[in-house]
């Protein structure tokens, strides 16, 4: 049986970052990942936005935290940051929960830059209440992944084990004794759960209370922008709107919409979806990767592009390339204010079990409190 | 072969627990058979029965995308449908006024085909249904404004994105879609159909509400109000001046029979003349302010024809 100081679950950005930080402290670490590669799910399948807070005009706490980490993240991962585009946030004149005046006030309060510009430069007449040029960037998930993996490669005390799952857990004094699907066993005084959509599945396995979350199967539609659109990132908020912006560094854009990006919602404590009847490898206790799944939802490209078309000036067009899918857990407590807090909870002291749930890449630094 | 055009269907829903499920399924099946991509927007105008739950249940096994706008209180049809059309993203938008239509949904096919043959707005109305009161209303409206609105009360229509956008730009508080679409200046057409059954009186407004809406429409879309006010003021002004002249004549010719009569009359006529003059000016001002307030276009072009002989 193998014994390690920390066993980390999930090779997304939170898992790899934890492994790097704890590895630097000299801990012996094993990182378990159920897919065959790192960054296969939500760390890759998202808007690739380095949040500076603009997204949360109704949750100043989420906004300030994002803004605090914005600079640090951009410096730490400078090689993966796309800051070569003009980021425009616009408030829809209809159905919005926030108007231009309120957004301006919110930015001033949070201390993030925003400069009002002429909405007519980008949007069709009558659609927009106010538009602002802001400072926000995009990241390239695979560049971050490769960097983190390269760091870990140089650490003999860190081992990543792909395609592996825990099937049984036992407590043995100050240790967890874990049986893996491949028949091997591991022993550790500290389990760090950095899975995302599987967070409750892991908690269930260890016998803890589950987070109150709902699950959404989300689609990120990738596309090629027209010449006029490239060099821009446009987000219309706060309500049933859309965002079209660079996805990483290679000129690809992502198109997402509040209404059409989430396809199916599950309100069960464990993610339960109809499509699991088709793909039986995916169960409420053991999620498969939506991206390679044959039963995944049909693309909503038609809806998202139509919505965007109604807002955008005609020369801002795009052609679809592919769609990515992932399951997103959303804390039920966040429904009202649309906040996206990072929740770090210690479920057990000895042996130690910590679970971390966060919806944003650049709040990864919240984890540092765990390593202390 | 399904149409590639993205269409939206906006439906007004009010206390429809008995029919909404069946209607929704029928609409969904119909749209799915005709269009590759579509959305249904239900505007639930504060129904007090189980309509909301019925929609939730029925929407579970539909093929299309359903959005339900639940209004916070009773808004009535015009504003409710405005919310629905504001949210609709289709290239063409069907507006259905009732969940108990007196037509088969194939009528929507006729509406669509008529629209793509070159009409931005196409109305459908049941044959021989128009009541005298609405006839009178539209006759008056057409006489008093530059509009030429069809007198029939339509039950469904299709609107192109172009016409819808222009109508939606008009942010005035007084909303009357029929007139707004008309004032957009785009080509419109009507379709008459034989009602399949007696329409279940979808008259949801009381007489007072109708009168209020009618007078609002008159005030916003014609200048009849200020014209009448100005006319009356002007007539009264003239009468006051004439009485003043008569009183002066009586005074000067020494025919005064009752002492003090002429001075009283002179004072009154001068005073009323002043008041009516002021009223005339104010009426003119109000008319002009109303015109300036309306954010619409100053002129409305139906089409631009470019003729080049080169």
Closest B-chain CA to A127: B169
C-beta contacts of A171-176 below 8 A and 24+ residues apart: A171/A351, A174/A350, A174/A351, A175/A3, A175/A351, A176/A7, A176/A206, A176/A351, A176/A353
Q: Are A326 and A42 in contact (CB under 8 A)?
A: yes
Q: Which two tokens stand for residue A274?
A: 């109809």
pLDDT band at A365 (very low <50, low <70, confident <90, very high): very high
Q: pLDDT digit string (tens) for B129-167?
A: 667 777 787 887 777 776 677 777 788 999 998 888 888
pLDDT over threshold 50, residue B284: yes
Inter-chain CB proximity B86 and A94 less than 8 Å: yes
Element housing B173 (H / E): none
H helix and E strand count, chain B:
10, 7
Chain B residues with CB under 8 Å of A95 CB are: 86-87
Q: What is the mean pLDDT of residues A289-297?
A: 93
Q: pLDDT digit string (tens) for B8-32?
A: 999 999 999 999 999 999 999 999 9
Q: What is the mean pLDDT of residues A153-175?
A: 95
Inter-chain CB proximity A303 and B168 less than 8 Å: no
How do beta strands B92-96 and B7-13 pair?
parallel
Residues of B near A (Cβ–Cβ under 8 Å) read 6, 36-37, 39, 65, 67, 86-87, 89-91, 161, 165, 168-169
What pLDDT, on the 0 to 100 scale, is given for residue B214?
78
What pLDDT, on the 0 to 100 scale, is given for residue B256?
65
Alpha carbon distance A300, B38 (integer Å)? 11
What pLDDT, on the 0 to 100 scale, is given for residue A11?
97
pLDDT band at B302 (very low <50, low <70, confident <90, very high): low
Of A126, A240, A302, the CB nearest to B169: A126
pLDDT over threshold 80, residue A360: yes
Which among A97, A70, A46, A108 is positioned nearest to A337, based on CA atoms?
Answer: A97
Q: pLDDT digit string (tens) for B215-253?
A: 777 777 777 777 788 888 888 888 888 888 888 888 888
Task: Say yes or no: A302 contacts chain B, CB-CB below 8 A.
Answer: yes
Q: What is the mean pLDDT of residues B75-91?
A: 87
Which of B87, B89, B297 best tests the A interface by mutation, with the highest count of A CBs <10 A? B89
Which among A219, A200, A178 is positioned nearest to A330, based on CA atoms?
Answer: A200
Alpha carbon distance B81, B164 (integer Å)? 12
What pLDDT, on the 0 to 100 scale, is given for residue B204?
60
Distance from CA of residue A337 to its chain's centroid? 18
Q: pLDDT digit string (tens) for B179-203?
A: 778 777 788 899 999 888 765 555 5
3-state helix, strand, coil in chain A (%, to 5): 25, 35, 40
What pLDDT, on the 0 to 100 scale, is given for residue B296?
52
Closest A-chain CA to B161: A310
Whats the size of chain A, residue-wise? 372
Alpha carbon distance A289, A276 (integer Å)? 11
Inter-chain CB proximity B65 and A303 less than 8 Å: yes
pLDDT band at B40 (very low <50, low <70, confident <90, very high): very high
Query: Could you tell me the sign of the dihedral formed by the alpha carbons of A284, A286, A290, A296, in that order?
Result: negative
pLDDT over threshold 90, residue A217: yes
Window from A14-23, A337-346, B250-259 with minimum mean pLDDT: B250-259
Distance from CA of residue B142 to its chain's centroid? 13
Inter-chain CB proximity B67 and A124 less than 8 Å: no
What pLDDT, on the 0 to 100 scale, is given for residue B168?
79
Alpha carbon distance A113, A279 (integer Å)? 46
- A126 to chain B, minimum CA–CA distance in Å? 6
Q: Which two tokens stand for residue B173?
A: 């508080």
What pLDDT, on the 0 to 100 scale, is given for residue B172?
60
How do beta strands A49-50 and A137-139 pair?
antiparallel
Alpha carbon distance A134, A113 (integer Å)? 6
Q: pLDDT digit string (tens) for B161-171?
A: 888 888 877 65
For residue B20, list its beta bridge partners.
none
Alpha carbon distance A308, A311 (integer Å)? 5
Window from A32-41, A151-160, A182-191, B127-136 with minimum mean pLDDT: B127-136
Which among B169, B176, B165 is positioned nearest to B220, based on CA atoms?
Answer: B176
Q: What is the mean pLDDT of residues A138-154?
A: 96
Q: What is the mean pLDDT of chain A?
A: 93
Alpha carbon distance B258, A46 (integer Å)? 96
pLDDT over threshold 60, residue B38: yes
Give the HSE-up count for residue A169: Cα atoms under 13 Å, Cβ half-sphere: 20
Which residues, 6 or more positions from B116, have their beta carbon under 8 angstroms from its beta carbon? Answer: none
Q: What is the mean pLDDT of residues A103-114?
A: 90
Q: What is the mean pLDDT of residues A40-69?
A: 89
Q: What is the CA radius of gyration of chain A?
A: 21
Which residues, 6 or more positions from B103, have their beta carbon under 8 angstroms from its beta carbon? Answer: B124, B126, B155, B156, B193, B195, B196
Chain B residues with CB under 8 Å of A124 CB are: 165
* Locus of tokens 């807090």: A341
What pLDDT, on the 0 to 100 scale, is given for residue B310?
45
What pLDDT, on the 0 to 100 scale, is given for residue A354?
96
What pLDDT, on the 0 to 100 scale, is given for residue B130?
64
What pLDDT, on the 0 to 100 scale, is given for residue A155?
96
Q: Are B114 and B148 in contact (CB under 8 A)?
A: no
More confident residue, A61 or A143: A143
Element housing B292 (H / E): helix B261-293
What pLDDT, on the 0 to 100 scale, is given for residue A285?
93
pLDDT over threshold 60, residue A124: yes
Q: Is the ipTM of this complex over 0.90?
A: no
Q: What is the mean pLDDT of residues A167-186?
A: 94
Q: Which two tokens stand for residue B62?
A: 């539909």
Alpha carbon distance B10, B124 (integer Å)? 15
DSSP state of B210: H
What pLDDT, on the 0 to 100 scale, is given for residue B32?
94
Chain B residues with CB under 8 Å of A96 CB are: none
């Amino acid at each position: 049986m193998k014994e390690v100081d920390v066993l980390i679950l999930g090779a997304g950005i939170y898992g790899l970052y934890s492994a790097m930080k704890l590895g630097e402290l000299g801990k012996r670490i094993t990182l378990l990942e159920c897919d065959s590669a790192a960054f296969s799910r939500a760390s890759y399948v998202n808007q690739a936005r380095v949040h500076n807070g603009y997204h949360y005009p109704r949750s100043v706490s989420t906004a300030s935290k994002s803004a605090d980490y914005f600079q640090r993240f951009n410096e730490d991962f400078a090689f993966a940051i796309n800051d070569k585009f003009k980021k425009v946030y616009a408030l829809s004149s209809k159905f919005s929960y926030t108007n231009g005046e309120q957004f301006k006030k919110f930015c001033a309060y949070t201390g993030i830059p925003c400069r009002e510009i002429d909405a007519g430069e980008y949007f069709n007449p009558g659609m927009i209440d106010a538009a602002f040029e802001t400072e926000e960037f995009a990241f390239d998930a695979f560049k971050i992944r490769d960097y983190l993996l390269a760091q870990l490669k140089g650490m003999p005390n860190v081992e990543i084990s792909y395609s592996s799952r825990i099937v049984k857990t036992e407590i043995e004094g100050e240790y967890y004794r874990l049986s893996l699907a491949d028949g091997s066993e591991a022993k550790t005084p500290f389990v760090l759960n950095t899975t995302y959509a599987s967070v409750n599945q892991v908690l269930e396995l260890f016998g803890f209370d589950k987070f109150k979350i709902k699950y959404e199967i989300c689609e990120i539609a990738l596309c090629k922008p027209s010449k006029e659109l490239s060099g821009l990132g446009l987000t219309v908020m706060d309500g049933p709107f859309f965002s079209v912006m660079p996805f990483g560094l290679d000129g690809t854009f992502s198109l997402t919409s509040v209404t059409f990006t989430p396809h199916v919602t599950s309100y069960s404590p464990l993610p339960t979806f109809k499509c699991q009847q088709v793909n039986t490898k995916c169960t409420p206790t053991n999620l498969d990767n939506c991206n390679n799944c044959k039963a995944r939802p049909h693309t909503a490209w038609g809806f998202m592009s139509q919505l965007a078309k109604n807002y955008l000036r005609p020369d801002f067009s795009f052609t679809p390339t592919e769609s990515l899918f992932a399951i997103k857990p959303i804390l039920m407590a966040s429904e009202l204010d649309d906040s996206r807090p990072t929740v770090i909870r210690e479920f057990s002291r000895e042996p130690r079990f910590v679970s971390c749930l966060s919806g944003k890449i650049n709040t990864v630094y919240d984890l540092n409190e765990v390593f202390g | 072969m399904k149409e590639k055009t993205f269409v939206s269907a906006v439906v007004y829903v009010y206390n429809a627990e008995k029919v909404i499920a069946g209607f929704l399924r029928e609409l969904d099946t119909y749209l799915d058979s005709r269009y590759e991509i579509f959305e249904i927007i239900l505007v639930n105008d504060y129904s007090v029965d189980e309509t909301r739950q019925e929609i939730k249940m029925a929407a579970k096994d539909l093929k299309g995308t359903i959005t339900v706008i639940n209004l916070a209180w009773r808004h009535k049809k015009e504003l409710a449908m405005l919310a629905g059309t504001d949210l609709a993203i289709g290239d063409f938008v069907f507006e259905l006024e009732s969940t108990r239509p007196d037509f088969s949904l194939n009528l929507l096919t006729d509406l669509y085909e008529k629209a793509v043959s070159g009409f931005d707005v196409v109305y459908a109305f049941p044959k021989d249904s128009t009541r005298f009161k609405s006839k009178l209303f539209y006759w008056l409206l057409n006489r008093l404004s530059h509009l030429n609105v069809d007198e029939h009360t339509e039950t469904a229509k299709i609107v192109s994105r172009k016409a819808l956008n222009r109508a939606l730009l008009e942010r005035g508080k007084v909303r009357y879609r029929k007139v707004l679409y008309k004032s957009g200046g785009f080509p419109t057409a009507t379709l008459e159909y034989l009602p399949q059954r007696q329409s279940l009186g979808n008259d949801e407004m009381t007489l007072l509400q109708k009168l209020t809406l009618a007078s609002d429409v008159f005030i916003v879309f014609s200048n009849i109000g200020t014209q009448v006010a100005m006319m009356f003021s002007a007539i009264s002004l003239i009468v006051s001046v004439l009485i003043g002249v008569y009183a002066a004549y009586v005074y000067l010719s020494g025919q005064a029979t009752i002492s003090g009569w002429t001075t009283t009359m002179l004072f009154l006529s001068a005073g009323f003349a002043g008041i009516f003059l002021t009223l005339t000016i104010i009426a003119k001002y109000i008319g002009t302010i109303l015109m300036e307030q309306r954010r619409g276009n100053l002129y409305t072009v139906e089409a631009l024809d470019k003729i080049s002989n080169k």
